[in-house]
């Protein structure tokens, strides 16, 4: 079975938790992981920048991906949020659990 992984970064742990809680409450994702200690380097408004961030990874079905993306766009604190989707095969038992977790 194919699953989707939506990822983003945020500056504050409270923002990462808000994304996680909203995703679970809306049943848009089955599992959200928050990874601290990310150091991002980027060009923003013509200037080289760097900052500490939290990486947020959400596991969902391809069917629920659009609703998860829409939710994150609405509540993400950044003006231009990084929303990247990866898709791939998952173990059947895990994929079934994800599917059951996001079913209403």
- Residue 72 belongs to domain with CATH number: 3.30.70.120
pLDDT at 104 over 90: no
Q: What local confidence, expressed as pLDDT, does residue 2 receive?
A: 93
Question: For residue 74, what are the domain limits?
Answer: 2-102
Q: What is the number of structural domains in the chain?
A: 1
Distance (Å, whole) CA 61 – CA 95: 8
Share of the chain above pLDDT 70, in %: 100
Query: Hey, is 25 helix, strand or coil?
Result: helix
CB atoms within 10 A of CB 35: 13
Q: Residue 9 in contact with residue 54, Cβ under 8 Å? A: yes
Which letter does DSSP use for residue 103 in this model?
Answer: -
Q: What local confidence, expressed as pLDDT, does residue 1 receive?
A: 85
Q: Which residues are bridge partners to 6 per DSSP?
A: 58, 85
Distance (Å, whole) CA 85 – CA 4: 7
């Amino acid at each position: 079975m194919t699953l989707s992984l939506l990822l983003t970064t945020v500056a504050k742990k409270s923002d990462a938790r808000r994304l996680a809680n909203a995703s679970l409450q809306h049943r848009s994702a089955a599992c959200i992981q928050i990874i601290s200690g990310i150091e991002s380097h980027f060009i923003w408004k013509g200037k080289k920048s760097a900052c500490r961030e939290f990486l947020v990874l959400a596991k969902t079905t391809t069917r629920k991906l659009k609703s998860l993306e829409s939710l994150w766009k609405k509540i993400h604190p950044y003006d231009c949020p990084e929303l990247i989707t990866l898709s791939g095969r998952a173990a059947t038992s895990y994929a079934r659990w994800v599917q059951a977790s996001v079913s209403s």
